[in-house]
Amino acid sequence: MVRQKKYWKVGKRLPPLEFKPQKPDWLEAEPGWISEALESVRSRPSGGWLVVAPSSAIGDKPQRYVIAGREVVVWRAGNGLNAAPDRCPHMGACLSEGPIREGKLVCPWHGLELSPRGHGDWQTFPTFDDGLLLWIRFGHDTTSEKPFLSTRPDSYLEAVVSTVASCQPQDVIANRLDPWHGVHFHPHSFATLHVLEKSQERLRLRVAYRLLGPLTMEVEATFHCPEPNTITMTIVDGEGVGSVVETHATPIDAERTSIVELTLATSERWQFQFARRMKWLTRPLMERAARRLWVEDVAYAERRFALRSGIEDERNSLRVLGNDYLDVSAE
């Protein structure tokens, strides 16, 4: 007989869940439902907007990013953040390797100065700074002047973590559309997890986060996708109502994705104002908790991509090696 672990709940108590016989998580996590939910998310409009990086990552020097296969230079000028092709219109030098002079990029090869007003075919891309993240718009889809943003709390303590995964954005979103893996794949972070509602518009779940040893904190949270490359978790009951975690997946190329995750913690408790003042201490803790989950979630997304790509198909790999390695009796 398996001994149930004892956990102690701290923080706001939620009413007991109505007893509902639940199938084991592996049966609740229906691959068909997750695929349909993902397809629904992927069919939503994005307006062509993609997250580049936290706005605070762009300082006095130009920065280079590769987004959807394009080399982009991002820099600050008097009018805010600008983005343009990281290729000098003269002979192709990387503009991100040059300095900025009076808001203009200075080409490191022959000194051409490029302002946000552009130069011939070399023109800036539309950008949007939402106050925390910088977005860029590619393509001719001008249906939305700004990105589709999630509702954020008015007062918050923010933390951002970024990583790169060998997969496509849909693999990152699919990972978040499968909350049933939480307790099994992240036993260090979740004690219990019940999915209360699932529709293509949102998932609602009750989860007990592990704080320290047997201490847990129970909250209810929803997941929804305001656009195809973003999935947002919002705490709707328990401690920290209104806190959000925005996960943004931006394609670097066909096989790599940049993940930028923004956590905005909020609370009505007086201790929260104290925590905000102590952000030099609380922010690293928030970042550590987010990074810990991404260790496994990147592995999940990469595994999903590998399966979709067929490169993990054992039989395919053996065929590449030759007939000696194939069990012909199983053919």
Chain contacts with ligand FES (rule: CB under 6 A)? 88, 90-91, 93, 107, 109-110, 112
Which strands make up the sheet holding 100-101, listed edge to edge? 100-101, 104-106, 113-114
The entry of ligand FES, Fe ion, none near residue 297 (CB within 5 to 8 angstroms by kind) is Fe ion
Q: Please identify, using beta-carbon distances, which residue of 74 and 105 lies nearer to ligand FES.
A: 105
Do the Cβ atoms of 179 and 203 come closer than 8 Å? yes
Q: 330: which DSSP letter?
A: G
Q: Which of residues 137-176 bind Fe ion (CB under 5 A)?
A: none
Using CB under 5 A as the binding rule, whether residue 239 contacts Fe ion is answered as: no
Is the Cβ–Cβ distance between 14 and 206 less than 8 Å? yes
Scanning the structure block, which residue is given the tokens 């040893």?
213
Residues 288-327, interacting with Fe ion (CB under 5 A): 297
Are 287 and 161 contacting, i.e. CB atoms less than 8 angstroms apart? yes
**Long-range contacts of residues 305-313, Cβ cutoff 8 Å, at least 24 apart:** 305/166, 305/167, 305/168, 305/171, 305/255, 308/171
- Give kind and range of the element (H or E) at residue 185: helix 182-185
Question: How many Cβ atoms sit within 10 Å of the Cβ of residue 159?
Answer: 22
Q: Which partner from the list ligand FES, Fe ion, none does 88 bind, CB cut-off 5 to 8 Å by kind?
A: ligand FES
Smallest gap from Cβ 107 to ligand FES, in A, equals 3
- How crowded is residue 229: how many other Cβ atoms within 10 Å of its Cβ? 24
Which CB atom, from 29 or from 100, has the smaller least distance to Fe ion? 29
User: How far is it, in rounded angstroms, from Cα 224 to Cα 226?
Assistant: 6
Nearest distance, CB of residue 259 and Fe ion, angstroms: 12
Work out how close the CB of 95 gets to ligand FES at its nearest, in angstroms, rounded to a whole number: 8
CB burial string 293-328: b at 16+ within 10 A, e below:
bbebbbebbbebbeeeeeeeeeeeeeeeeeeeeeee
Nearer to Fe ion, 12 or 303 (CB): 303
> Whole-number minimum distance, CB 111 to ligand FES, in Å?
6
Q: Which is nearer to ligand FES, 105 or 134 (CB)?
A: 105
91 interface partner picked from ligand FES, Fe ion, none, CB below 5 to 8 A per type: ligand FES
Give the position of tokens 């996960």: 247
> What is the closest distance, in whole angstroms, from the C-beta atom of residue 93 to ligand FES in the complex?
4
Q: Residue 123 Cβ, how far from ligand FES at the closest point, in Å? A: 16
265 binds, among ligand FES, Fe ion, none (CB under 5 to 8 A by kind): none
Shortest distance (Å) from residue 134 CB to ligand FES: 24
Give whichever of 72 and 193 is closer to ligand FES, judged by the CB atom.
Answer: 72
C-alpha 307/C-alpha 301 separation (Å) is: 10
- C-beta of 98 vs 228, nearer to ligand FES: 98
The residue behind tokens 């931006």 is 250
Which residue's CB is nearer to Fe ion, number 41 or number 114?
A: 41
Closest CB to Fe ion: residue number = 297
Binding site for Fe ion (CB under 5 A): 297
